[in-house]
Each structure stands twice: as structure tokens, then as C-alpha cells.
Chain A
Amino acid sequence: MVLSTNAPVVMSANGLYKRFGGQVILNNAAFEMRRSEVVLLRGANGAGKTTLLNILTGNLEPDAGTLSLFTAAKEEHFQFPRSWARKLNFLDHFTPERIARRGVSRSWQDIRLFPTHTLRDNVALAIQNQTGESPFAVFYRRRRIREEEAQIAKEADALLVRFGLGGRETSSADMVSLGQSKRVAIARSVLAGAKIMFLDEPLSALDSKGINEVMALLASVVAEHGVTLVIVEHVFNIPRVLDQATTVWTITNGQIKVETPEQVRRQGLPTESDGVRPWLRHLAGTNGRVVERELPGGALLSYAQLPNGSGRAALNVKDLVVRRGRRPVIGRPIGDGREVEGLSFALPDCSIGVLQAPNGWGKTTFLEALSGVIPVDRGTISINGKPIQDLATWDRIANGLGIMQSRDNVFPNLLVDEAIKLAGVAEVPDHIRPFLGRRVAALSGGERQNVAAACALFARTNAVNLLDEPFGMLDAKAIARLQGEILARNGGATLMLLPAASN
């Protein structure tokens, strides 16, 4: 895409400076952002992408610099550090709500819809300055509120229909799939009147269908509303974002480097959309092979057998049925729907495998059933021939099961040292050393994922390792390193769970 250079500037910053303790994150960063621009924001783990987003959305004050907003009729200029007079004047604070009211919206990696509201209300809430938002207005401006509510509901529904969510208007937000919630979040920003949308890893954990849908929506939002987008993404999703991007910002050494998508393409991009299967092919080498098996529900199991395998099954899942409420999530109803066919597969000793499944297949449920957090309805799970489905979680771990969840996989309030010790890692891996003495909560998303992986892999050698989206949030270097670690620490079988990819 090309951007006309005379589009009006909507936001600009100069001399942004931010440090945490002794660590300088942003050092004299500057940029200018124009109407309808689509910016891909990239950078290594810990480069400062999230920090920059936090600053530009009013969630964090930089130590120095200026920030100007031209999105509303009245321009806003912020000078940092804020003067004392400004700090005392509580009408002049630098806060998320103030920035949001100027047409700047933000989405989170974990989406954050309002879970007890319907999709319609989630979207309706975004509208600014509703008459009914004052507590007593319902008593003296009934008519007006009723009309306004009808209007808002109409707008919200129309938007939901346009976003492919027609018929789901009254579903509760905690009952819809990941891809759907991501679309609701975008709808919410649109109705909030966003002129600039910051999106922190909007494609993560989506299968390829979901990625297509979200990217198409974003494109239409830019085309129709002239919105400016700033999208943070990592390695394998970068090509998808580049297709739409007009500009690429790369954060290195605290500065923002501005390039065109063509320049970035010339530097070379990953051609695979998941990065795992080429790795498996590589592992299988010349004499080995990658075994692929389709599982019910559109999932694909592929694994590479490494040399020296005995051929025994390290992980054997037989006729597994797991329910959430009444509905079978793992296992498919067959015939008239009363019979359920369980999930069965085996992963041989000395193998590395990946289970790719579309969103809504039940990856999380599967992981929780294997780890013993939720009970299984039927079937057996064995590790090296020993059934574990009736054991408590800790006994499963003792029997050689290792698990790494995709999020909430580290204790945020511990020091990194404590987390590592708690996991029982004897020697701290080199790449974790720089984080010692810091709190897990103060690490970037990717840094945290590195710590979680170290806790999961370095403590001991497990017979079976289950890793849920181990490469999420990681940059290219960290992915390569983690692949090496997985290989080196593979005691029997490793199974990675990933969203379904298109290739």
C-alpha cells in the first residue's frame, strides 16, 4: 500500500526518553504519524514496543519528550516531564481516558472484553458521552435515553453484522471464540470513534482463517474511516501485516527506525507461516521423515522421529473424551450425536511433534485434561505405557510429564531468581542471567516467555513435554534458541500445540 505524503499528521512525538532503573528503553525516539497510515511496529523482545504503546495511549509517562495529538478539533500538546502546576491540576493529567477521548484506542493481546456483557453492550459501551451514563438521568431524561439507546443498539448491531457477528449480538462476551472476540474488540474501537488504533499482537494465537478475517477487517476500517493503525507483531505474522502496511517502524537501541515495507522485504522474511514444520523437516533430516496424521475437527498432528528411537509410544492417548459442561470438547459426536468418538493418537519415543488445531478445537481443554486440572470423561492417557489419567497433577509430573501453558505461565510477583529456583532449575541459563534480580511482572512479554520456557525445560528431563504455543511472543533469535533447547532437553517426546496454519 502507498500512503500519500500530504495526508494530515495525526500524532507526533519528539525526544521521547524512558528508562526503567538503569535500563534505557527509549532514547530520543521521534516519529510522525499520518491519517490512514498503517504502521508495523517491530523490534526484538524487550526493545520497548509495549512501552512505546503504553506511552502513546496515556498509560505511562515518559521521562522526557513531547507528544502532540491532532486527532480532535483541539490540538493537544504534552511536554514531559510534566510541570508541578500540571501535576497539581487534576484536570490536566496524562491519563488513558483523556487520550482515549481524543480518538486514540488500544487493544491488548489478551483482548479484555467486558465478560459479563453481551457483544452488543461491549460495543455500545464504547460510544462517548451517552446521556444515560449519569446515574439520575434515567429519571428526568427517560425519553431521550430511550431514543439514544435504540440508536446505539442499531449502530452496534449494524457494526457487528458487518464484522461477521450477526446473530451473536446477545451472546455473552465470555462465550465467544478467540477470533470473534478479537473482532469485537476492533468493533469497539471503531465505535469509540478511534482515529488511531494501537494493536498489540492482534494476530497472536489466531489460526490462519482468523488472521485473514482480522486483517481484512482492519483494511476496511482504514479504507472507510481513515483510521491510522499501529500494529505490533512478531516473526511469523510480520509478512501478513506487511501486506497492508505503509510504514515499518523498528525499535533498536531506543530509537525508531522508519522504513518502507519494500525495504523490509528486501532484508528477507520468513516464508513459512508457523516456522515449526520446516524445523521438523530439518530435524527428520535425510533419512528420517515427518509423519503427518489428521485428527478429527481439522487438527493436524505432525512429528519428526529422531534417531535412536525405540518405536515405543512415549505419549499414548486412547479414546479420550473431555467435556465442558455437557458438551464434549475433546471427542466428536457421531451418528445421532449420542455416541461420542474419543480422540486417539500416539507420539513415539524420541520424537518432536506439533499439534496444529483451528481456534475452538479445544487446545486449552486438551492441555488441562492432560495435566489433570479438569477431569477426563473417558479414555486413557499413558506415559511410557503407564496410565496417568487418574493421577493428581503432581503425580503426573512425577511420572515424567512436563507442561508449559501459553499464558499465565510464570508467577508475576516473584523475582526471576525465585521463579527459576521454584521450578528447580539448578543452573541459570545464560540468556536468563540479565533478568536476575528483577520481578517477573517487570519483564516484557517475550522476556517472560523465555523465563517460562527455562523453568519448563531446564528443571529436569521429562518423558513427555507439552508446550502450548511456546514460540508466541518470541523474536527470531529467541525462537531459534528455544528450538535448540527443546531438542537438547527432549527426554522422550515433545508435543507443541499451535493454532492451525495455512501451509
Chain B
Amino acid sequence: MNYLLHLLILLDVYIVVAMSLNVIVGYVGLLTLAHAAYFAIGGYSYALVTLLLGWSFVPAVIAAVLVGVAFSFALSLASWRLKGDFFVLFSLAVQIAIYTVLWNWRKSGVEPGTWENLTNGIDGLNAIAKPLLFGHQFVGLGEIAILFTVIMALVGVISWTMLNSPWGRLLKAVRDDELAARSLGKDVRLIKMQAIGIAAALAGFAGALFASYMAFINPMSFDLNQSIVLLSMIIVGGVGNAFIGPFFGALLLLAIPEALRFVDLPIMVAGEVRLMVYGLLLVVLMRWRPQGIAGSYRME
């Protein structure tokens, strides 16, 4: 039971990340490999302000969101000029730069979280504050699961509402034909900035949730592979659809490794088998359902 609650909590977090990534991939039409980095930015921001400044849950989550937005300018400024493969490469650079900083901003013998040892590298940050709302500290798995599921549903409703508003309509138009949108007098730079900013905010938010639940983070949870898994989630689930695609994508890609646990594979090959199953899933999908399970937009 505890194990299932743990999975449910992770699922909630990943659905939020997948929804945020879906905004960039499915609605701005840009493939990014930097999403794990934005997830990390949220997690580390939350951890640092709670650990160092002693902020409580709500302000710390807000801080994580704002830091995410601040970093979003890296991607949105690039999106003004770069398209296709060039944007992908740029996002790869962002991912690697942030990951490298997380990995290397450390000095042994110095207290973690100080200027000299900000991230504590591979050893990560410990004892991060658990969620706290209305004076209630969420510690048990059950209550965290309920809290996160409610939050996930709320985020789903909010992002669905935004993406189905006239703003979402405009966003899709910009994705489909930027020049035509500009020629109708639309400010495409502004709208890309808004969309990527919102996506980064959501990723930061999910990162904060993740850190608050795990109480421990290190860079391993946010590497390039993680970015690729996140992308796989929304490609499998289907992009350009506010909620259902990310939901099924996250569900499937979380469920597979867990299901494999019950197959008694030797430790050495388990990881490889998981990757093979992901690969197979993508190939099968490309062949029979290129738009993903619930997608409404097909990437070229």
C-alpha cells in the first residue's frame, strides 16, 4: 500500500511536469531537452530557500516558480530566433550547463547550501522541509498523496482553461504559421515568452513538490536521460492536448519500470530492459499512432 501511495505521489508530480513540457512541445511547437533542468531548478530553489532562509512551504514554492520563470528567458529568447534542430541543440546546452552547475558547485568540508558549496554535488541536499499548508504539516504518505493529487487536478484544470482560451488558440496559430500570425498583427515574441515562462513556472512548481516530498535531492534525478524520459512521456501520451496526453504518458512511462520490478530480472540487465521497452514503445507508436495516445498535433 505504501508503495502504491509512493507511486501515486510521483505520478502526480510527473503529470505536472509533463503538462508543462507539453506547453512547449505541443503548443509552442519546439522540442526541448532542457526540461529536467527546469524541474531541477524548482527543486533546488525550494530546497535552498527552506534550508537556508527557513522559508515555509508556500513562499518557498512561490520562490521556486519565480526562479523557474527567470530561467525561462534563456529558452524564450532563443525561441525568437532558433527553430527545429538548432533550438533542440540550444536546449541541450541549457540542460548540460545547469546539470553541470548542480553537479560541480560543491566543496567538501564546507556546510551544504553555502556560497562555496551551494548544491553539495552528488551528495545532494538533505532534510528538505515537507509540505505545510494552513499550519498542517504533511508527513504521512497518505496525506501527501491526497494533497498532491488535488494539486495535480487543480493544475490540470488551470492549464486546460488557459490552453483552451483565446490565448491558447493564438498560441496554436503561432505554432502553425508564425509569419501568418505576425501578418495579422500578433506579437509572436510576447506569446512565446508567456508560454515558455508558464511552462518553466509549472516545471519549477513540480520540482518544488518533488523536493518537498522526497526531502532529499541530488543531480541524478535531473540528468539528460530524465529530459528524454519526460519527452517520451508526452510523445507517447500525445502532444497538443492540454491534459489527457500528459496524463497517459506519465502513467505509462512510470508504470513500465514498476511493472518490470515484478519480473525477476537480474539487477545488471533491469535498466537495459527498461530502456528497450521504452524504445519499443516509441517504435510501435511511431508506426501505428504517430500522434501519440491522445495527441492532436503531430510533430514533423
Contacts and interface: CB of A to CB of B under 8 A. Distances in A.
A138 B162 contact: yes
Nearest to B188: A97
29 contacts: A96-B183, A97-B182, A97-B186, A97-B187, A100-B182, A105-B183, A106-B183, A112-B180, A113-B177, A114-B177, A114-B180, A116-B176, A116-B296, A116-B297, A117-B176, A125-B181, A126-B184, A128-B185, A131-B166, A132-B165, A133-B166, A134-B194, A135-B194, A135-B195, A135-B198, A136-B162, A138-B165, A138-B167, A149-B166
Contacts of A112: 177, 179-180
Q: Is the interface of B mostly helix, strand, loop or mixed?
A: helix
A139 B165 CA distance: 10
Contacts of A98: 185
B161 interface: yes
Residue among A117, A138, A139 having the largest count of chain B Cβ atoms under 10 Å: A138
Contacts of A133: 166-167, 170, 186, 191
Nearest to B180: A112
Contacts of A59: 179
B163 to A, nearest CB: 9
Given A117-B169, A135-B167, 12 more contacts: A96-B183, A97-B186, A100-B184, A101-B185, A112-B177, A114-B181, A115-B176, A115-B177, A124-B169, A125-B173, A126-B184, A133-B166
A59 B182 CA distance: 10
Interface of A: 57, 59, 95-98, 100-101, 105-106, 108, 112-117, 121, 124-126, 128, 130-139, 145, 149, 188, 192
Interface string B153-176: 000001001100111011011001
Contact of B161 (A95, A100, A116, A138): A138
Contacts of A135: 162, 165, 167, 194-195, 198
B202 to A, nearest CB: 12
A116 B172 contact: yes
A463 to B, nearest CB: 35
A139 B157 CA distance: 11
Given A112-B179, A114-B176, A139-B161, A145 B184 contact: no
B93 to A, nearest CB: 24
Q: How big is the B interface, by class?
A: 20 to 34
A145 B167 CA distance: 11
Nearest to B172: A116
A121 to B, nearest CB: 6
B169 A121 contact: yes
Nearest to A115: B176
A98 B240 CA distance: 29
Interface in B186-203: 186-188, 191, 194-195, 198
A145 to B, nearest CB: 7
Interface string B288-299: 000000001100
A113 B180 CA distance: 8
A460 to B, nearest CB: 33
A95 B179 CA distance: 11
B296 A96 contact: no
A190 to B, nearest CB: 12
A398 to B, nearest CB: 30
A242 B195 CA distance: 46
A131 B297 CA distance: 26
B184 A188 contact: yes
A139 B240 CA distance: 21
Nearest to B296: A116
A431 B186 CA distance: 41
Q: Identify the 3 closest CB pairs spanning chains A and B, nearest first.
A: A132-B166, A100-B185, A138-B165
Nearest to A185: B180
A114 B182 CA distance: 12
A110 to B, nearest CB: 10
Contact of B182 (A96, A108, A113, A115): A96
